[in-house]
Amino acid sequence: MLPGKPVILITINGRFDLHQPLYECQTCKQQWTPDMKDLLRSGYWPASITNSTLYTLDLLSSFKELKIISPGFSRQAFAKLLEHRTKCGGRSGPINGDALQRSFLELSYTSFEEDQLCCSAPLTCPACTPEMLAVSADGNRKLYRFRRNGSSDDPGFLRGSLWLKTTQGRGTCGDSHWTAARETSRRASKLDEEGMEVAVCRHGFLLKGLSFWRREDER
């Protein structure tokens, strides 16, 4: 057995600069080195078709679990963690966060296609069920709907259970009044609706929406 081509192995303990094994028969001089199928069976995920960088499946599954527990955990932070563990082990070398993210997404898509072929249960998001862990909210204040003939009886942009309704009067927050949210203030007399705000889960599915009837600060 001889040292083959150099390979960068990334594990949960950081980076290792190694060589792939190269087996050579002393009789017929034929050589064998592991290909991509052999690496996958052994629990490694190649970062490219050249197999110059390998990730252990345990590392990628650990990154997935961290993303579920803490959706805001970034790949740069995970790469710095691996670099720190590499240094603690007496080794050196950077960890490419972009390559790590790309390999993680490739493995996730491959797992999804495998579930589809095996007719497995549909995807259930562990970050959204049974308790919501991450919600993103943003608004657009320039979706104007103008008043017609001095009447504000026209329906809003969207109607249904998704959109919250506002009430006339002074805005309240607990026992106190919120001046910025009061319904009696009109910044633009010709506008009956100024825009909307929506809240989505981390997958982009709509959860709730709110129309801006008077002020952008209204919630």
Non-local CB neighbours of 190 within 8 Å, separated by 6+ positions: 146, 147
Residue partners of 57: CB distance under 8 A and separation at least 6: 43, 44, 45, 107
Measured N-to-C along each axis, helices 75-88 and 57-69 cross at an angle, to the nearest 10 degrees, of 130
Exposure on the CB side of residue 181, measured as CA atoms within 13 A:
13
With helix as H, strand as E and coil as C, how does 133-162 read? CCEEEEEECCCCEECECCECCCCCCCCCCC
pLDDT tens for the chain, 219 residues: list them. Answer: 888 889 999 999 999 999 998 998 888 889 888 888 999 999 999 998 888 899 999 999 999 888 878 877 888 999 999 999 999 999 999 999 999 999 999 998 888 888 888 877 666 666 576 777 778 888 776 666 665 555 555 555 555 555 555 555 555 555 655 555 454 544 545 555 667 778 887 777 777 777 766 544 443
Block residue for tokens 């087996």: 23
Buried b (16+ CB within 10 A) or exposed e, 107-135: beeeeeeeeeeeeeeeeeeebbeeeebee
Angle at 198 (CA atoms; ends 127, 109), nearest 5 degrees: 40
For residues 8 and 22, the answer to whether their CB atoms sit within 8 Å is: no
> What Rg, from alpha-carbon coordinates, does the chain have?
28
Distance CA 112, CA 106 (A): 10
Give the per-residue pLDDT at 185. Answer: 47
Three-state DSSP at 58 gives helix
The domain limits of the chain are 2-117, 135-212
Report how far residue 169's alpha carbon sits from residue 207's, in angstroms, rounded to the nearest whole number: 26
Q: Which residues pair with 171 in a beta bridge?
A: 178
